[in-house]
Amino acid sequence: MKVVMLGATRGIGRSLARLLASGGTSIHVLGRNADDLVKCAEDLKVRGAAAVSSSLCDLMAPATFGPALDAADAALGGFDTVILSAGIFSTQDELANDRARAAAVLTTNFTNSILFCEEARVRLLARGGGRLVVFSSVAGERGRKPVVIYGATKAGLSAYLEGLDHLYRAQGLITTTVKPGFVRTSMTQNLKEPPFAGDPDDVARTILSAILRGAPVVYAPPMWALVMMVIRMLPRAVMRAVKF
């Protein structure tokens, strides 16, 4: 695999990048912080990556997407896999009281994530296909009190990725939507931990297995597939009454 990854410097993305590196994968990491990229690249080299390179790319700045992917193409001599694990999170209380933050979450997690995927899609299809792996969230499975705005961004992103998979899989573009549940990362460190919380390294192994199988959707930890199946079946009256 020749992988381009936006979001490899922290959280689940970092664990997944390290797992790929340990298998001898060639990786081009994208990010908005040059120092973080240098540290990430050095870490991946030590862990066994066949080759590591990097370039600047900011998910909040769509003008950077095309040039960053072109730089990755040149550095890797062509890529076959693009992974987007970046995004931003805020609690519902924060977003309900900060319009600027809400706009940033909505734009970054939905509009700009899709624009990044479109840049990747065009390049992958031009070479006969490949893998597009994008982190959404179980928060997008159902409208829920704690994640009204954040969940809406992930619901829209998941719908886009499902449509992309229907439209282009026959042409060789394998789209995998990653739907993490609660995972112990810096993003969730100040949140109350629910049952079935996962660790980044375990979750990364689940995700990589799904990528290699070409699965269209992966829940990680896997128990969240069952949890969300139940949540999807609950009547609205119940959803109004519960806090989950």
Place of tokens 């997008």: 140
Distance CA 113, CA 157 (A): 8
Distance CA 115, CA 21 (A): 27
Q: Which residues are catalytic?
A: 150
Distance CA 203, CA 198 (A): 7
CATH code for position 35: 3.40.50.720
Determine the structural domain holding residue 62 and report its residue range: 2-241
What does the pLDDT read at residue 244?
A: 76
Alpha-helical runs (H) found in the chain: 11-22, 34-46, 65-76, 92-96, 99-106, 113-126, 148-168, 200-213, 223-233, 236-241
Number of structural domains (the chain) is 1
Is the separation of the CB atoms in 187 and 171 below 8 Å? no
pLDDT < 50: residue spans in the chain:
none
| 10-26 burial code (b ≥16 CB/10 A, e <16) | bbbbbbbbbbbbeeebb
pLDDT tens-place string over residues 105-157: 999 999 999 999 999 999 999 999 999 999 999 999 999 999 999 999 999 99
